[in-house]
Chain A
């Protein structure tokens, strides 16, 4: 195994041991591959299969079901714009279109469904950290800063970390931020 060698293998073993049955660690292990490879790669899925005694196809079937596993290279900063009704009612469509126009470099933009923060509509996340009540100009400013290597503080909690480090948190290995 080339991806699950050394430290990553130890982390995988730790995650597998956390559950009554090994297969429950499949979602965490997909995040672990995403953290190591930048996205969920074919090799990563094959190695997870070897670790959990599943076929690559079984792992692939799971990986393709969930939108937070990226199967293509994704920017260091993933900007998610909600355009569900509560956000759309207050202009999210324009926010998304502006975000898309400003994307590039280390910033990937995606349109997403309700992020569960509708009191702060339109809602935007950067690597799953919330930025509240953003208009088109606000999102352009945010993306401009990210592209210039600066990370503006989110509405609550510590600043987001790069997409691959975020995947490590989501794998369940702890959130060391702030």
Chain B
């Protein structure tokens, strides 16, 4: 197995790494001390120079994001850690929090110091009960040892951290929906501008960073920007965790330098396709990133290379389909997911995802027409970039890209009156995924 230097997953094999004593014994909170000895502006410059880009999906430069925070508004500055991991196929943040929660706490402390925030929130996905338990204990230990609270690590800087549990909504991983939810509202996105850096939580300047991003910050401080930027590629620096799942022999999280060929991650680290079958399709960064095929396995896994080949690096969640799996079935299941999770605020996303499930369902179940293929592309075109957030854009990805690479398979569904792979709808949801309205109050409860 190829051996790569590890940063954020380096302590995963260390017994008791989640406790503060073990964390301290392995150099824990040294990066925080180093940062506190610098000026906040210098910390931001260091992270900028490292080239670190957000690991939550969008890949925005982290230091640049921090530098947008105005310091003279008279309002408090907030930091929100996005721990609402929900992109299908993604499971890196959960494991980071379960195995090494102090790394996250240290990253939060450094980030809060850099941007001048004395109040941080961790928006923890509701279903992540074990992550929450580990992080909550880490927070308590950090308070106890003076790494949180008044005058952290012997400095003059105060920081409080509050953990907030989500309640089951993919949309709340979107940064403005996350803030709405943290304000006690429905998790629906806001119109931008203004961006959260200017008007975020309670209208105050707010930085929102993903768990993996924050976990990387202590390593940037430890190594220094120059050393960190030597890892990876010129524009995608450092390491990245790839969560590999689906039809592979060894599903799991693998941290590799950015720019590592997909083949190394899928075939070497994850052991290749299960049972020696052929690889049919894969996504590089979760369900919201377009499908690629076996022809793309030599693509380096970095933001630029993946984009050049027509997909997106996203969260680094690689889902693998083998030659016996039906892409129409997979596209339908993910479309059911988007229809279910669409918050309902914007018409193109709410209606488009719902109608797409109808058309795909008809096709998978034998009632499809050839014209449906272009109809779906047309519906997709009416969703893409026409809503307040990227949920609808993500919904278009599996459909558009599967038609692009597997148009014949769609046509065969029409000609043969159903799935040519005879998959018996193996991937479809078993119960109706009826969307944001599903749990709403029935009209009969309101009207006589």
Contacts and interface: CB of A to CB of B under 8 A. Distances in A.
Contact of A93 (B126, B184, B430, B440): B430
14 contacts: A18-B162, A19-B162, A27-B164, A27-B184, A66-B187, A83-B429, A86-B251, A88-B426, A89-B247, A93-B427, A96-B430, A113-B86, A119-B253, A157-B130
B38 interface: no
A66 B169 contact: yes
Nearest to B438: A67
Contacts of A170: 126, 129, 165, 167
A125 interface: yes
Contacts of A175: 129, 132-133, 136
A86 B334 CA distance: 10
Interface residues of A, number: 62
A114 B429 contact: no
B439 A130 contact: no
Nearest to B337: A113
B28 interface: no
Interface string B66-109: 00000000001000000001111111011000100000000000
Interface of A: 18-21, 23-28, 30-31, 52, 60-62, 64-69, 71, 80, 83-86, 88-90, 93, 96-97, 100, 111-121, 125, 127-130, 156-158, 166, 169-172, 174-175, 177
B19 interface: no
A84 B337 contact: yes
A86 B246 contact: yes
B184 A85 contact: no
Q: Which of B93, B170, B252, B430 has the most chain A CB atoms closer than 10 A to its own CB? A: B430
A138 to B, nearest CB: 17
A28 B165 CA distance: 8
A86 B244 CA distance: 9
A71 B165 contact: no
Contacts of B343: 65
B429 A30 contact: no
Given A65-B343, A67-B167, A85-B88, 15 more contacts: A19-B162, A31-B165, A61-B186, A64-B440, A65-B169, A65-B187, A66-B166, A69-B168, A84-B337, A85-B89, A89-B321, A116-B125, A116-B128, A118-B317, A170-B126
Q: Which of B129, B183, B319 has the most chain A CB atoms closer than 10 A to its own CB? A: B129
Given A66-B187, A128-B126, A174-B136, A85 B91 contact: no
Contacts of B325: 89
Interface string B426-447: 1111110000100111000000
Which 3 interchain pairs have the tightest Cβ spacing?
A: A26-B184, A118-B245, A66-B167
Q: Which of A27, A30, A60, A157 has the most chain B CB atoms closer than 10 A to its own CB? A: A27
Chain B: number of interface residues, binned into ranges: 35 or more
Contacts of B340: 113
Contacts of B128: 116, 128
B185 interface: yes
B430 A119 contact: no
A113 B126 contact: no
B170 A113 contact: yes
Interface in B160-201: 162-170, 181-187
A27 to B, nearest CB: 6
A84 B333 contact: yes
Interface in B93-152: 93-94, 98, 119, 125-130, 132-133, 136
Contacts of A23: 183-185
A116 B93 contact: yes
B330 interface: yes
Contacts of A121: 245, 251
Contacts of A116: 85-86, 90-91, 93-94, 125, 127-128
A97 to B, nearest CB: 6
Contact of A118 (B169, B170, B243, B430): B243
B341 interface: yes
B202 interface: yes
A20 B119 contact: yes
Nearest to A96: B430
A93 B426 contact: yes
Contacts of A174: 136
B385 to A, nearest CB: 24
Q: Which of B98, B187, B427 has the most chain A CB atoms closer than 10 A to its own CB? A: B427
B427 A89 contact: yes
Contacts of A119: 91, 243-245, 251-253
